[in-house]
Amino acid sequence: MRLVILDRDGVINEDSDAYIKSPDEWQAIPGSLEAIARLVHADFHVVVATNQSGIARQLFNVDMLNRIHSRMIDEIHHKGGEIDAIFFCPHGPNDHCRCRKPNIGLFEEIATRLKTNLSGTYAVGDSLRDIEAARAAQAIPVLVKTGKGLRTLTKASGLDSVAVFDDLAAFTSALLGGGLAVTP
What burial class does residue 141 get, using C-beta atoms within 10 Å of its C-beta: 0-12 exposed, 13-18 middle, 19+ buried? buried
Residue 156: pLDDT band (50, 70, 90) is confident
Asked if 28 and 12 touch (Cβ cutoff 8 Å), the reply is yes
Average pLDDT over residues 113-142: 97
pTM across the whole model = 0.96
Asked if 48 and 96 touch (Cβ cutoff 8 Å), the reply is no
pLDDT of residue 13: 98
Q: Give CA angle at 142 (66, 14), nearest 5°.
A: 40
Q: Give CA angle at 77 (138, 149), nearest 5°.
A: 45
pLDDT of residue 61: 98
**Count of other CB atoms within 10 angstroms of residue 157:** 6
Specify whether 95 is catalytic: no
Classify each residue of 61-74 as buried b or exposed e, where b means 16 or more C-beta atoms within 10 Å of its C-beta: eeebbebbbebbee
Q: What are phi and psi of 147, to 5 degrees?
A: 60, -125
Whether the per-residue pLDDT at 47 is higher than 60: the answer is yes
pLDDT of residue 160: 85
User: Hey, what CATH class is 3-176 in?
Assistant: alpha beta
Cis peptide before 102 (omega within 30 of 0): yes
Average pLDDT over residues 78-104: 97
Average pLDDT over residues 61-90: 98
Which of 7, 15, 126, 130 is the catalytic position?
7
Average pLDDT over residues 158-167: 92
Q: Percent of the chain beyond pLDDT 90?
A: 92
pLDDT of residue 4: 98
Which of 9, 15, 126, 167 is the catalytic position?
9
pLDDT of residue 183: 58
pLDDT of residue 63: 98
Residue 180: pLDDT band (50, 70, 90) is confident
Whether the per-residue pLDDT at 184 is higher than 60: the answer is no
